[in-house]
Structure 1
Amino acid sequence: MRFFAVAALSALFHFAVVAEPVEDFIPPRSVPKGFVTTRGSNFEVNGKPFYFVGANSYWLPLLTTQEDVENTFEEMQGAGIKVLRTWGFNAINGSELADAQKSGLTYYQIWNSTEWVLNDGPQGLHRLDNVVSTAGKYGIKVILAFTNNWAPSSMSTGLEALAKRMTFSILIRESYLHTAKRYVKTIVNRYKASPNIFAWELMNEARCLGDLPGGPSCVPGSGTLHTWYKQQADFVRSLDPHHLITTGGEGHFFWKKPVGFWFNGTFVSDYNFNGQAGEDFDADLSLKNIDFGTYHIYPQFWYPQLDTPGSNFTLKSWGLGWIKDHANAARRAGKPVILEEFGVSGLTNKTGVYPAWVDLALGTNHGLLHSGIMPWQFGMTGLKESGGNRLIKYADALIDGASPNDGFAIYKNQSAVWNVFTRAAQVQAAKSR
């Protein structure tokens, strides 16, 4: 999904990125104590199976008080959550610095023209340090994403300015060497000894087309994103031989057989299956240093023209098919897969759809099995900083003690929805014994 935080790496995948050659690294068979590893289609920790219900919370590192951070993790722990997915990025332009310091905004990089400076301070990476360490205190492991496809505006980080000013060939080289490599290395080296890290995630929802125009080389069959995934995964593996690595992709397929739907008498090729997004889930999952697959589900927003009264299209049935497609792909690859983000808006939709999706994904009454699910997104009430009301940036805010809500947030007081996931967490915990 789209979020306010802007990644300093966010434009990289729009181009045919050329990286310095990196030697292939084969993940070791053994990892340090407490690290997550894989065995076939499952995860393990210390030789025991690890099944989980997780939580997405991009806003957790944005909190400014330890009390709110602790209370959020305590509520996650009480719900049975074992994995947190959050952002390892947030950059601002130099022109935003004064306002950021005044508002208390968390930021990890300050961009000035075509270069950035790391913020390794109490309003910067110290907050991410705290989230990672506090997660471990509550028995929760962290999936940390390096960057994001989505940005709030087309010119909000130094990379967009770089793209505007430099030639294509120079941009390719400079963007990789001076942003991705240096920042990723900083983050990986900072936490590579920590068992609190579940996995590194290359990018949230990489596509050929995002908030910046797609490059001409990123078209179905070009393999541009596939090559980028490989280069980045190999680079991260060279830095860290132990932690798992995944793409963070939405799970788009590139199937040769046409998949589509009829709309107003015209057959429409389906973006989720025709390779236009740039991903090829089957091929991407086969990469040696991609340890498990991820995919997302938002049919309500992917197919608005079909989700209408009288249509035979239903959110529930489409999602069930998408789950099966990814379970089958993971089985062919012999690797785990996580339903990493999913959401529908409206309480009736949630209570009608989520139980079926969760039941199928976790194999409660089926042969299909995912090791983990992570609904979008975890909601927290009772936050106290700034009296529970604070505009963070753009549309994100704490309101009456509640964490940001984009229509998908799941709060404890929404018991019918909340209980779907707490019951699933109990099932997953029983499998892990």
Structure 2
Amino acid sequence: MKVITLFPFIAAVAALPATSNIAPRASIAKADGLKFNIDGVTKYYAGTNSYWIPFLTNDNDVDFIMNHLQTAGHKILRIWGFNDVKTIPGSETVYFQSFSGSSATVNTRPNGLQRLDAVVKAADKHGVKLIINFVNNWNDYGGMAAYFSACEVSTQEQWYKSTNCQAMYQNYIKAAISRHRSSTAVFAWELANEPRCKGCPTAVLTDWIRKTSDYIRSLDSDHMITLGDEGFGPADDGSYPYQFGEGLDWAANLALPNISFGTFHLYPDAWGVSNSFGNGWVTAHAKICKPCLFEEYGVTNAAQHCPVESEWQKTSLVWVICSVSPTGMAADLFWQLGDTVPSTNAKTHDDGHIIYYGSSDWKCLVDDHIKRIG
């Protein structure tokens, strides 16, 4: 792996102009060339993920955590806009959609999409922009599998192709978008979390992405649309992440007219590659992006959070500032946000990748990173 020197990067950062003290007026985020424009400012941005924040039941807890993101300088937060169940839980448990027999019912009650509303409201108050995702490839919080019985399929390949499944999925998308169609707190609508179609021809996913992104665009002509995929498929060294076995052709999907920007993830532990693989993975995507969001990344070993992940962050920034020819790296979001919920005084779930607010890892991957961005 070629070592990328950071000396030109440091000099370039030092030469960046000071930011204005005048708060920009809230507006709908957009792609501006190879970068993102948030509230009138085009630059590289930092952010994070929180699958759990829409499932909090106390508005003050949501506001408290959003304030931490604002204070830190994070501008983008990716959240789950889905929570699908096959059995309706108790009134204190949050869910967004239920399936029974051959029907799907969107939950708009206080323990349903009103929880998503609370997150959008808090984000708007604190100047945070949300990526809202509509379905999970995995079974956590229902996922595509929650649809299977209702729309009479048994595999994800069938789900992508089924007119019945897609009608249910699009009905949910319409319900969610209709609540926040005009919100400046929405950064982008996202088709799925890590969609895959193992062993499928790549045309299966590309066709589904085209149809779904076109449908979203028919509902909302303003907000950005993205896929939420892991980035599999760009040609490089032939290792697993660069192959097409999961049914994804990253470059072909990125070229679709209603996909506003590309996403890619990075988990060496799960993919069977080394941590040093990450710098080349970022670089391979940076060369193709239009722009690109380094949307999830992490290592499981807590002792490696700072030394490993900060190098990936620096590589992404090197491609922004020091590249001979400009590339489309526009933002990165680590997986994932951790905090202490004030109403319970309990820490949020630690999945091994968590970066808790105020920790030494937070200083490394948030405070120091945002200073480098400038």
> What range describes the TM-score normalised by the shorter chain of this pair?
0.7 to 0.9
Describe the shift of the 1:337–1:181 C-alpha distance in structure 2 as closer, same or farther (beyond 3 A). same
Of the three residues 70, 87, 99, the one matched with 1:111 is 99
Per the alignment, in what secondary structure is the counterpart of residue 61 of structure 2? helix
By how many angstroms is 1:366 displaced? Answer: 3.5
Aligned 8 A contact 1:411 1:418 in 2: no
Aligned 8 A contact 1:155 1:161 in 2: no
Counterpart amino acid of residue 234 in structure 1: D
By how many angstroms is 1:191 displaced? Answer: 1.0
Of the three residues 237, 242, 266, the one matched with 1:273 is 242
The residue that corresponds to 2:85 in the other structure is 92
The residue that corresponds to 2:54 in the other structure is 61
CA distance in 2, matches of 1:158, 1:38: 33
Of the three residues 55, 58, 74, the one matched with 1:81 is 74
When Rg is computed on C-alpha atoms for both structures, the one with the higher figure is: 1
By how many angstroms is 1:369 displaced? Answer: 6.0
Of the three residues 128, 131, 154, the one matched with 1:143 is 131
The residue that corresponds to 1:224 in the other structure is 204
CA distance in 2, matches of 1:147, 1:319: 27
Of the three residues 301, 309, 317, the one matched with 1:346 is 301
The alignment's TM-score, normalised by the length of structure 1, stands at 0.74
Aligned 8 A contact 2:302 2:353 in 1: no
The residue that corresponds to 2:172 in the other structure is 183
Of the three residues 130, 148, 151, the one matched with 1:162 is 151
By how many angstroms is 1:422 displaced? Answer: 1.7
1:324-359 CA distances to partner (integer Å, 9 max, x unpaired)? 0000111xxxx1101000000122211220121111
Aligned 8 A contact 1:56 1:376 in 2: yes
Corresponding residue pairs, total: 343
The residue that corresponds to 1:377 in the other structure is 336
Per the alignment, in what secondary structure is the counterpart of residue 337 of structure 2? coil
Per the alignment, in what secondary structure is the counterpart of residue 170 of structure 2? helix
Describe the shift of the 1:238–1:171 C-alpha distance in structure 2 as closer, same or farther (beyond 3 A). closer
Of the three residues 173, 179, 185, the one matched with 2:163 is 173
The residue that corresponds to 2:233 in the other structure is 253
Describe the shift of the 1:109–1:404 C-alpha distance in structure 2 as closer, same or farther (beyond 3 A). same
Instruction: List aligned pairs for 1:285-324, cutoff 5 A.
Output: 285-303=254-272, 314-315=274-275, 317-324=276-283
The residue that corresponds to 2:214 in the other structure is 234
Per the alignment, in what secondary structure is the counterpart of residue 347 of structure 2? coil
Aligned 8 A contact 2:186 2:223 in 1: yes
CA distance in 2, matches of 1:171, 1:251: 21
By how many angstroms is 1:133 displaced? Answer: 1.0
CA distance in 1, matches of 2:37, 2:161: 41
The residue that corresponds to 2:184 in the other structure is 195
Per the alignment, in what secondary structure is the counterpart of residue 321 of structure 1? helix
Per the alignment, in what secondary structure is the counterpart of residue 149 of structure 1? coil
Describe the shift of the 1:250–1:156 C-alpha distance in structure 2 as closer, same or farther (beyond 3 A). closer
By how many angstroms is 1:254 displaced? Answer: 5.1
Per the alignment, in what secondary structure is the counterpart of residue 223 of structure 1? helix
By how many angstroms is 1:100 displaced? Answer: 3.1
Superposed CA RMSD in Å reads: 2.5
CA distance in 2, matches of 1:236, 1:155: 18
1:34-54 CA distances to partner (integer Å, 9 max, x unpaired)? 011122211113543143111
Per the alignment, in what secondary structure is the counterpart of residue 242 of structure 2? coil
Query: Structure 1 regions of 5+ residues with no counterpart?
Result: 1-31, 261-269, 307-313, 389-400
Aligned 8 A contact 1:162 1:171 in 2: no
The residue that corresponds to 2:27 in the other structure is 34
1:111-159 CA distances to partner (integer Å, 9 max, x unpaired)? 1112111111111111100100110101101010111100048996242
CA distance in 1, matches of 2:321, 2:35: 18
By how many angstroms is 1:273 displaced? Answer: 1.7
CA distance in 2, matches of 1:158, 1:253: 27
The residue that corresponds to 2:8 in the other structure is none
Counterpart amino acid of residue 378 in structure 1: L
Aligned 8 A contact 2:161 2:208 in 1: no
Aligned 8 A contact 2:159 2:166 in 1: no
Of the three residues 293, 302, 313, the one matched with 1:358 is 313
Aligned 8 A contact 2:234 2:284 in 1: no
Describe the shift of the 1:181–1:155 C-alpha distance in structure 2 as closer, same or farther (beyond 3 A). closer
CA distance in 2, matches of 1:416, 1:143: 24
By how many angstroms is 1:420 displaced? Answer: 2.5
1:150-196 CA distances to partner (integer Å, 9 max, x unpaired)? 00489962424533589x6998121112x122111111222111111
Describe the shift of the 1:155–1:301 C-alpha distance in structure 2 as closer, same or farther (beyond 3 A). closer
